[in-house]
Structure 1
């Protein structure tokens, strides 16, 4: 997953501040790895991504969405009113903590203007994945066997959403 994130961001203009990146990880618990306004160079961003530890445990997607929406996308942590807000959810499992809150948390984030791309890795059940994704679902929800199938996702996200505007 970490290599996918670095590859996904490899052509983005991090240094100018046009694109800002923050990372929240979740398993049984939720952890903010870094905020949108913490890394302003590609080198520092890639080093921070490399330092993200693997979290063992259950799948608390609702908690991850809640933290993304209520903590990450705030002015204090680097959100900008003139920037398109994009949340990319990567998951290899269906929620098993607060399962009943996962889609409502995603809807709350979407209602506040965050475009959500939901990416499932090897999922056999995609109802939750599709429910988290922004509409139209076929343009925002992806379920793949491995990350090599996501080579064109960068263009889908950045070309259609951030044309000429900053993205956070």
Structure 2
């Protein structure tokens, strides 16, 4: 269809696969792919499409209109409401067709052994936060695998009040908005044994994937509230799904606070969104794995990077 010259825009509403929208739409994605939680912003969506597809016919001189800049869309409302009835808008032919999305290529990372991680633990000082996706698509069995992998990272670190401190936040949500649980904060546990018990007691939440709201919550309630100003600040995000909200501004705010962000995607996930969340360069901060069984290996590799961040 696109080869025939049809310009395709795809709009996803609800918990829809971003890769499917991406595969359907024309390039570039920023112009042609839009995703919302519900229909409450449909009037705004139509207005934006009208501006993009139907630029003003009156110009001061004959010229081709410039390409539109990417449009920042408003945050979703906290509760679903019925959309207002939009005025009819005359648009050019826009057609969608269902195709199978392409799987993102996993990021290739160098092999890192556990011994390499252990070599620098004595010098570590950092505030490390795990931000875990607890949405329904993860499943309880896989969430337990995530917790086991987190335990492995804790074992490789020099835990202490004046050394490495750890916090853990789990996020999900419903049609009424995001839900975040701060299982423990940075100043709560000062030894590995207590951390192990706390991690083992974490319960799986279920729900939607409100990653943007989770980033906002973690910045306010963990980093801004408890982080030490003189040590490295690190966030490890682990998710298996595409966010049901906007992540651009929340991710920028976290990184602007001086936090190094690593994003780990499991399964068929939106790689561009992982890159948007993570710190630069992508090659060092973005990881993908096919399934949760391979997550432990990725976190083992991450241990060396955390060690580098935590050097004093």
TM-score normalised to the size of structure 1? 0.89
Contact kept? 2:161, 2:187, Cα under 8 Å: no
Q: What residue ranges of structure 2 are gaps of 5+ in the alignment?
A: 1-145, 174-178
| Distance of 1:149 and 1:45 partners within structure 2 | 21
Cα deviation code 1:7-54 (max 9, x no counterpart) = 012121113531000111001111111100001111110100011111
Match in the other structure for 1:87:
235
| Distance of 1:152 and 1:15 partners within structure 2 | 22
Q: Displacement, 1:163?
A: 1.4
Contact kept? 2:237, 2:264, Cα under 8 Å: yes
Question: More deviation in 104-113 or 140-149?
Answer: 140-149
Q: Which gives a bigger RCO, structure 1 or 2 (Cα 8 Å, sep 6+)?
A: 1
The 1:124/1:73 distance shift into structure 2, 3 A limit, reads closer
Match in the other structure for 2:36:
none
| Distance of 2:208 and 2:297 partners within structure 1 | 25
| Distance of 2:212 and 2:184 partners within structure 1 | 19
Match in the other structure for 2:311:
163
Question: More deviation in 141-150 or 36-45?
Answer: 141-150
Question: What is the total number of aligned residue pairs between the two structures?
Answer: 158
Residue 22 of structure 1 aligns to a residue whose secondary structure is strand
Q: Displacement, 1:152?
A: 1.4
Structure label with greater radius of gyration: 2
| Distance of 1:124 and 1:71 partners within structure 2 | 27
Q: Does 1:2 align with 2:147?
A: yes
Contact kept? 1:123, 1:143, Cα under 8 Å: no
Match in the other structure for 1:128:
273
Residue 183 of structure 2 aligns to a residue whose secondary structure is strand
Cα deviation code 1:42-79 (max 9, x no counterpart) = 1110100011111111101112111111110134x3x1
Question: More deviation in 3-12 or 146-155?
Answer: 146-155
TM-score normalised to the size of structure 2? 0.49
The 1:31/1:16 distance shift into structure 2, 3 A limit, reads closer
User: Superposition RMSD on alpha carbons, in Å?
Assistant: 1.3
| Distance of 1:15 and 1:149 partners within structure 2 | 25
| Distance of 1:62 and 1:85 partners within structure 2 | 19
| Distance of 2:193 and 2:155 partners within structure 1 | 11
